[in-house]
Amino acid sequence: MKIGELSERTGIPTRMLRYYEQQGLITPTREANGYRSYSDGDVARAQQIRGLVQSGLSTRLTKLVLEAETVCATQTTVECTPNVAQELADELAAIESRISCLARSRDTVRDFLCRSEHGKKLVPSLSADAQPVSG
């Protein structure tokens, strides 16, 4: 598929997809005419990249995470430099902190919607027997 179709399927602007390519995050093949050609696998990868970047990771750290994911999928024991290990440990702590913050925010929004007549109508999973989360 061409870059325009990848953009349509992922909701990611073509300019951003080209930037991801510049950063080595996605690697399309090139057709004889020089056009980029993307696979179905690139759809999921582009969406994952966007999610990681939107969650606060730099593209450099996003690349490290994607590489680590590939290594973990193929190897039981991995090696890295102490600097990379420290960087990933720091990022792990930051991710855990963001997840905790997001979980508290989710619980607050859920609690508010559970107590709201309109919230129960808009979000069917907030049934009458759903218990508000106390914080």
Residues 22 and 11 occupy one common structural domain: yes
Residues 5 and 56 occupy one common structural domain: yes
Residues 73 and 10 occupy one common structural domain: yes
Residues 53 and 63 occupy one common structural domain: yes
DSSP 42-92: HHHHHHHHHHHHHTT--HHHHHHHHHHHHHHHH-SS----HHHHHHHHHHH
Q: Is the pLDDT of residue 130 over 80?
A: no
14: CATH: 1.10.1660.10
pLDDT class of 84 with cuts at 50, 70, 90 = confident
In angstroms, the CA 65 to CA 28 distance is 19
Q: Torsions phi, psi of 56, nearest 5?
A: 115, -5
Tokens 């909701």 map to which residue?
A: 11
Of 53, 79, 105, which residue is a domain's last? 79
Residues 62 and 1 occupy one common structural domain: yes
Residues 29 and 58 occupy one common structural domain: yes
Domain count, the chain: 2
pLDDT of residue 82: 93
Tokens describing residue 63: 């690349």
The whole domain housing 106 covers 80-135
Q: Of 112, 134, 133, which is closest to residue 122 (Cα–Cα)?
A: 112
Residues 15 and 50 occupy one common structural domain: yes
The predicted model scores a pTM of 0.71
Of 54, 79, 104, which residue is a domain's last? 79
Q: For 28-78, what is each residue's pLDDT tens digit?
A: 999 999 899 999 999 999 999 999 999 888 899 899 889 889 888 998 888
Strands 36-37 and 29-30: antiparallel
pLDDT class of 122 with cuts at 50, 70, 90 = confident
